[in-house]
């Protein structure tokens, strides 16, 4: 079934890398053009949004979506990877804080905060990922950067474990949140488990395992796992063009109001201030993304699909 285009919500298992999932999808679907929008660490499981065919060109619009995670933090000692796969970097402590102190600690990391990336991460220093230095045991600190944490909530406290939920902006290292929380509480901590439950409008309960995708594909039921191009970027207004409008857009030219057959959703502003509009042909297929052109009522394509 070559040539399929759209998004695939995958339930990534623990221990598999995001690249492993993409490689498996390429093999299952017999399609080389597959990528993903947002890496999950091997220790983490949960929602991975993959793209097939033309949908891979939508990376800039999906990579920056907010994320939702549920996880478990182990108090008592820190590790060199900031998670349970690493080696302890502090003596073990059993002097666990009270629940009120934990709740206050979580709140300290809400809002716009500055993170230093974990030593074992893909952030680069002098052109090399930090994990390269860490594996060589060469101490190098990554550059601090700003992230946004909308909510860092306590779900259950059973010392030494904290069960939490976090809603955060793209680029936030949950491992770093766990490590920094341990430092703030004075007892050390590391991430013991993590599940990504949401990315933008997508939710884990709507995702399929690789085994399910293999079965759906084998039975000729791609609609069971593939979200077609016509469903992408639903918050962007829809514009339906006539045949001449389609011809202009496919040649990279703007379309004037006379070429527009119908407008949908332009009475209000798109949810994303950087959003544009989606252009559809008479057959109902998505053909391009566009933004307002130089003249009133005109739309100029910036990504022809």
DSSP states along 71-125: EEEEES--BTTSBTTS-B-S-----PPPHHHHHHHHHHT-EEEEEPPPSSSS-EE
**Residue 220 pLDDT > 70:** yes
Alpha-carbon distance of 61 to 74, in angstroms, equals 35
The predicted pLDDT at position 265 comes to 54
Residue intervals of the chain classified under CATH 3.30.2350.10 are 6-64+202-230, 67-199
Burial 202-229 (b: 16+ CB within 10 A, else e): bebeebbebeebbebbeeeebeebbbeb
The predicted pLDDT at position 138 comes to 77
136 — pLDDT class (breaks 50, 70, 90): confident
Q: What is the mean pLDDT of residues 48-54?
A: 96
Q: Would you call 305 exposed, middle or buried from its count of C-beta atoms within 10 A (0-12, 13-18, 19+)?
A: buried
Alpha-carbon distance of 216 to 208, in angstroms, equals 10
| CA 281 from centroid of its chain's CA atoms | 29
Quick check: 75 and 90 in contact, CB under 8 A? no
What are the structure tokens assigned to 131, written together?
């994990």
Pairing of strands 189-199, 45-52: parallel
The predicted pLDDT at position 1 comes to 44
Q: Name which of 3, 14, 22 is nearest 213 in CA terms.
A: 22
Alpha-carbon distance of 229 to 19, in angstroms, equals 23
Pick the catalytic residue from 41, 85, 206, 283. 41
Q: What is the mean pLDDT of residues 59-63?
A: 89
What are the structure tokens assigned to 107, written together?
């709140």
Quick check: 28 and 190 in contact, CB under 8 A? no
Q: What is the mean pLDDT of residues 186-207?
A: 97
Q: What's 252's DSSP letter?
A: T
66 — pLDDT class (breaks 50, 70, 90): very high
CA distances from 51 to 37, 208, 211, 229, 275 (A): 8, 14, 18, 10, 19
Residue intervals of the chain classified under CATH 2.30.130.10 are 233-304
The predicted pLDDT at position 235 comes to 87
The predicted pLDDT at position 117 comes to 87
Alpha-carbon distance of 144 to 261, in angstroms, equals 50
The predicted pLDDT at position 262 comes to 58
Topology of domain 6-64+202-230 in CATH is Pseudouridine synthase (3.30.2350)
Alpha-carbon distance of 50 to 59, in angstroms, equals 10
The predicted pLDDT at position 268 comes to 42
Mean pLDDT for all residues in the chain: 90
CATH number for the region 233-304 comes to: 2.30.130.10
Quick check: 21 and 214 in contact, CB under 8 A? no
pLDDT tens profile 143-196: 889 999 999 999 999 999 999 999 999 999 999 999 999 999 999 999 999 999
Alpha-carbon distance of 105 to 256, in angstroms, equals 55
Would residue 272 show up in a list of annotated catalytic residues for this protein? no
Select the more confidently predicted residue: 235 or 266: 235
End-to-end, the C-alpha distance of the chain in Å comes to 19
- Our CA dihedral for 126, 59, 31, 250, rounded to 10 degrees, sits at -120
**Residue 137 pLDDT > 70:** yes
| Whole-prediction pTM | 0.89
| Domain made up of 67-199: CATH architecture | 2-Layer Sandwich (3.30)
Q: What is the mean pLDDT of residues 3-26?
A: 95
273 — pLDDT class (breaks 50, 70, 90): very low
Q: Would you call 151 exposed, middle or buried from its count of C-beta atoms within 10 A (0-12, 13-18, 19+)?
A: middle
Burial 262-293 (b: 16+ CB within 10 A, else e): eeeeeeeeeeeeebbbbbbbeeeebbbbbeee
Q: What is the mean pLDDT of residues 208-221?
A: 95
**Residue 34 pLDDT > 70:** yes
């Amino acid at each position: 079934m070559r040539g399929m285009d759209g998004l695939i919500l995958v339930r990534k298992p623990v221990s598999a890398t995001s690249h492993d999932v993409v490689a498996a999808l390429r093999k299952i679907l017999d399609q080389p053009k597959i990528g993903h929008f947002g890496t999950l660490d091997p220790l983490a499981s949960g929602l991975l949004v993959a793209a097939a065919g033309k949908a891979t060109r939508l990376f800039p619009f999906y990579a920056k979506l907010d994320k939702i995670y549920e996880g478990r933090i182990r108090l008592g000692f820190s590790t060199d990877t900031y998670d349970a796969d690493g080696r302890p970097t502090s003596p073990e402590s059993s002097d666990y804080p009270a629940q009120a102190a934990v709740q206050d600690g979580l709140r300290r990391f809400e809002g716009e905060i500055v993170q230093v990336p974990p030593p074992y991460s893909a952030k680069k220093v002098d052109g090399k990922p930090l994990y390269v230095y860490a594996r060589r045991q060469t101490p190098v600190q990554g550059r601090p950067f700003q992230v946004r944490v909308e909510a860092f909530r306590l779900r259950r406290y059973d010392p030494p474990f904290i069960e939490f939920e976090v809603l955060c902006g793209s680029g936030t290292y949950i491992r770093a949140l766990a490590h920094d929380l341990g430092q703030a509480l004075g007892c050390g901590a590391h991430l013991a488990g993590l599940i990504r439950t949401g990315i933008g409008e997508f939710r884990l309960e709507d995702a399929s395992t690789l085994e399910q995708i293999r079965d759906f594909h084998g039975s000729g039921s791609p609609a069971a796992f593939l979200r077609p191009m016509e469903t992408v970027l639903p918050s962007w207004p829809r514009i339906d063009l006539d045949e001449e409008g389609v011809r202009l857009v496919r040649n990279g030219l703007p379309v004037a109001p006379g070429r527009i057959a119908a407008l949908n959703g332009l009475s209000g502003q798109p949810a994303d201030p950087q959003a544009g509009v989606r252009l559809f042909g008479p057959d109902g297929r998505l053909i391009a993304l566009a933004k307002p052109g130089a003249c009133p009522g005109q739309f100029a394509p910036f990504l022809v699909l």
